[in-house]
């Protein structure tokens, strides 16, 4: 019995071993059949079947597919129903996971026999799909958005107000719309690289909407005078008057919303003839020199005081290098392009303000309008306090040889000051506060004179040099005036001579025209002696140019006789 049981056991064992060996032979045959260098059936990349392809063939197939995708149209929806169309290739479309093809080709080909067989069996129950991963060039997307799509942006136009003939006129603005570049860029990138159906694409860009500042209701309330100030420029030269009036014109009509900062320099620049400016006196290195826009500081100073009375926040203010005469010390605000000086302030009120600038009868006035929020019993005033005074203790005389004797140019002295400005607040007639809001220092500058000493006349030379050596400008002025008077008398004496007197003195007849006069002037040694070589040469050159221009003029007789008549 036991012998029979052992025989049955051996038989069963033999059967099991034969089954296992048969299965292994079949598994080995299946794995061997797959090891033919091509990708297995059921392996895809995206919608592209890679079955039966070598790795190189699969890569080429995917590349060809991506090249076709580059010709797909991408349409951007911009502002106002406007559309911009480009090709996907214009956005730098690129395939980025080529290495997954190598993984697909290795599927079922590497590892132990069981692992390889399992991979093959898994494919019988479902495809192995690798994602087709794409990328775009963000710089190219940005370029398309910025250069093409923003063309249709609508800038916001704030509600505005102007003052004409003493009345306010309100103009409503418009809502602004613009492409949000960063958000639109990310939206485009995600659309193409995540979930794209590989068809022509339409992408609505992110649009930012900006409402106009202020409201008509707020502007209609802007009728109260918050502060007004006037200065006079009645003693100014014609050029300086034009500069003051031009600067006032450029600022007039400014509307500032709450939080807006105003830069006087930005509003009135550039200081060029094209922008309405003329050469006029201004301070530079302790001297008064002519420069384009000279006098513009009176504009900023007048505005400064109107701003103070309106109790707006001043963010930058600079005093002049030397004292000025149209306001008290510490009440000025200088503008200097070369020194970087500006006058800036912020609308610190809760409502818009309007700046009106007027020039009339050589007076400049700035008035700031808004909605008054201060208590009716509140009164603000500003007091200038001089802390020290420094008078010049000498004079400066500069002799120059490029000017003839008799010439003198005097620049007035400037007293030096230190000063401070107090803000005083009263409520219902009672002073409630007093504070210093600025301190200023103004340089002292002595009176100076430039004296011409060029002459061939030894008498005149000795006299003017003695005056210069005296160190007194008044002495130089007196001597220069006396020499000029003597030269003028000599010239008048010659002009009043009779023909007989001229003949006796060997003076020929007076020139018949300007040309003859210039030639005589060149040959006249007496004129050169009196005026000096440099001054005489300059005068002769100027007269020559004048005569040349005169000769080039077309006369009415020439027009009447030579001009072709139709």
Could you read off the pLDDT of 79-123 as tens digits, one per residue? 999 999 999 999 999 999 999 999 899 887 775 565 665 656 666
> Which of 234-243, 317-326, 473-482, 503-512 is predicted least confidently?
503-512
With beta carbons less than 8 A apart as the criterion, state whether 548 and 542 touch.
Answer: no
Average pLDDT, the chain: 87
Phi/psi at 312 (nearest 5 deg)?
A: -85, 160
What pLDDT is recorded for position 23?
45
How does residue 505 score in pLDDT terms, banded at 50, 70 and 90? low
Query: How high is the pLDDT of residue 518?
Result: 76
pLDDT at 111: 56
| Amino acid 542: pLDDT | 79
Mean pLDDT for 289-305 is: 93
Residue given tokens 């159906």 in the structure block: 197
Q: Alpha carbon of 360 to those of 245, 251, 417, 477: distances in Å?
A: 9, 16, 31, 37
For residues 383 and 436, is the Cβ–Cβ distance under 8 A? no
Picking from 107-116, 154-163, 401-410, 538-547, which range would have the lowest pLDDT averaged per residue? 107-116
Q: What is the Cβ-side half-sphere exposure of residue 459, based on CA atoms within 13 angstroms?
A: 6
What does each C-alpha distance from 303 to 253, 414, 496 come to in angstroms? 13, 24, 58
pLDDT at 20 over 50: no
- pLDDT, mean of residues 428-437: 96
Of 209-223, 275-289, 487-501, minimum mean pLDDT range: 487-501
Q: Look at the pTM and tell me if it is higher than 0.75.
A: no
Task: Tell me what pLDDT residue 489 has.
Answer: 82
Region 257-261: mean pLDDT is 94
Query: Given this model, what pLDDT does residue 21 score?
Result: 44
Express as a percent the part of the chain with pLDDT over 90: 64
DSSP H or E run through 333: none
pLDDT value at position 565? 43
Which tens digits make up the pLDDT trace of 442-460? 999 999 999 999 988 999 9
Percent of the chain with pLDDT over 70: 84
Give 288 or 405, the one with higher predicted confidence.
Answer: 405
pLDDT tens-place string over residues 112-144: 565 665 656 666 655 788 999 999 999 999 999
Query: Which of 279, 530, 493 lies closest to 407 in space, CA to CA?
Result: 530
Tell me, rounded to whole angstroms, the distance of Cα 549 from its chain centroid.
Answer: 43
The average pLDDT across 422-431 equals 96
Place of tokens 């050029």: 239
pLDDT for residue 385 is more than 90 = yes
CB within 8 A of 311, min separation 6: which ones? Answer: 226, 227, 348, 374, 380
CB contact set of 513 (below 8 Å; sequence gap of 6+): none
231 has pLDDT over 80? yes
* Angle made by CA atoms 407, 410, 412, in degrees to the nearest 5: 175
- Rg (alpha carbons) of the chain, rounded to whole number: 47
- Residue 340 clears pLDDT 50, i.e. is over it: yes
Give me the mean pLDDT over the 164-178 stretch.
Answer: 91
* pLDDT score of 22: 43
Q: How far apart are CA 159 and CA 220, in angstroms?
A: 11
CA angle 406, 411, 415 (to 5 degrees): 150
For the chain, the maximum distance between any two Cα atoms, rounded to a whole number of angstroms, is 184
Report d(CA 237, CA 300) in Å as an integer.
18
Kindly state the tokens that stand for 222. 């802007």
């Amino acid at each position: 019995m036991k012998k029979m049981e052992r025989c049955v056991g051996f038989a069963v064992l033999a059967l099991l071993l034969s089954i296992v060996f048969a299965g292994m032979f079949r598994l080995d045959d299946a794995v061997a059949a797959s090891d033919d260098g091509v990708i297995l059936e059921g392996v895809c990349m995206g919608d592209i079947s890679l079955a039966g392809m070598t790795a190189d063939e699969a890569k080429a197939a995917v590349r060809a597919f991506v090249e076709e995708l580059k010709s797909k149209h991408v349409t951007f929806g911009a502002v106002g129903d406007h559309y911009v169309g480009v090709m996907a290739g214009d956005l730098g479309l690129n395939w980025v996971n080529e290495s997954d093809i190598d993984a697909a080709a290795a599927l079922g080909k590497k590892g132990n026999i069981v692992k390889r067989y399992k991979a093959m069996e898994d494919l019988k129950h479902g495809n192995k799909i690798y994602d087709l991963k794409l990328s775009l060039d963000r710089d190219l997307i940005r370029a398309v958005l910025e250069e093409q799509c923003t063309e249709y942006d609508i800038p916001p136009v704030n509600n505005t107000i102007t003052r004409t003939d003493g009345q306010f006129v309100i103009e409503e603005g418009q809502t602004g719309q613009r492409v949000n570049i960063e958000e639109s860029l990310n939206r485009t990138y995600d659309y193409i690289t995540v979930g794209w159906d590989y068809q022509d694409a339409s992408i609505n860009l992110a649009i930012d909407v900006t409402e106009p500042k202020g409201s008509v209701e707020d502007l209609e309330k802007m009728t109260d005078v918050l502060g007004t100030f006037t200065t006079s420029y009645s003693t100014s030269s014609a050029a300086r008057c034009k500069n003051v009036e031009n600067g006032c014109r450029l600022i007039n009509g400014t509307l500032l919303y709450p939080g807006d900062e105003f830069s006087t320099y930005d509003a009135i620049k550039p200081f060029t003839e094209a922008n309405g400016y003329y050469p006029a006196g201004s301070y530079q290195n302790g001297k008064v020199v002519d420069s384009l826009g000279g006098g513009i500081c009176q504009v900023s100073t007048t505005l400064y005081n109107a701003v103070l009375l309106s109790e707006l926040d001043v963010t930058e203010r600079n005093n002049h290098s030397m004292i000025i005469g149209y306001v008290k010390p510490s009440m000025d605000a200088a503008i200097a392009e070369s020194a970087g000086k500006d006058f800036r302030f912020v609308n610190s009120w809760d409502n818009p303000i309007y700046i009106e600038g007027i020039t009339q009868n050589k007076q400049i006035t700035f008035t700031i309008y808004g909605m008054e929020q201060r208590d009716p019993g509140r009164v603000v005033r500003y007091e200038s306090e001089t802390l020290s005074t420094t008078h010049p203790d000498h004079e400066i005389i500069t002799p120059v040889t490029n000017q003839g004797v008799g010439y003198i140019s005097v620049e007035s002295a400037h007293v030096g000051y230190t000063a401070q400005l107090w803000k005083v607040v009263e409520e219902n007639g009672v002073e409630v506060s007093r504070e210093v809001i600025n301190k200023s220092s103004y340089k002292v500058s002595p009176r100076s004179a430039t004296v011409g000493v060029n002459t061939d006349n030894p008498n005149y030379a000795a006299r003017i040099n003695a005056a210069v050596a005296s160190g007194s400008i008044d002495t130089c002025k007196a001597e220069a005036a006396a020499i000029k008077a003597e030269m003028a008398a000599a010239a008048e004496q010659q002009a009043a001579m009779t023909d007989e007197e001229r003949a006796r003195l060997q003076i020929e007849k007076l020139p018949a025209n300007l040309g003859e006069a210039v030639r005589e002037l060149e040959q006249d040694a007496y004129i050169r002696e009196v005026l000096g070589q440099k001054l005489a040469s300059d005068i002769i050159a100027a007269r020559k140019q004048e005569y040349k221009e005169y000769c080039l003029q077309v006369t009415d007789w020439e027009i009447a006789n030579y001009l072709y008549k139709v």
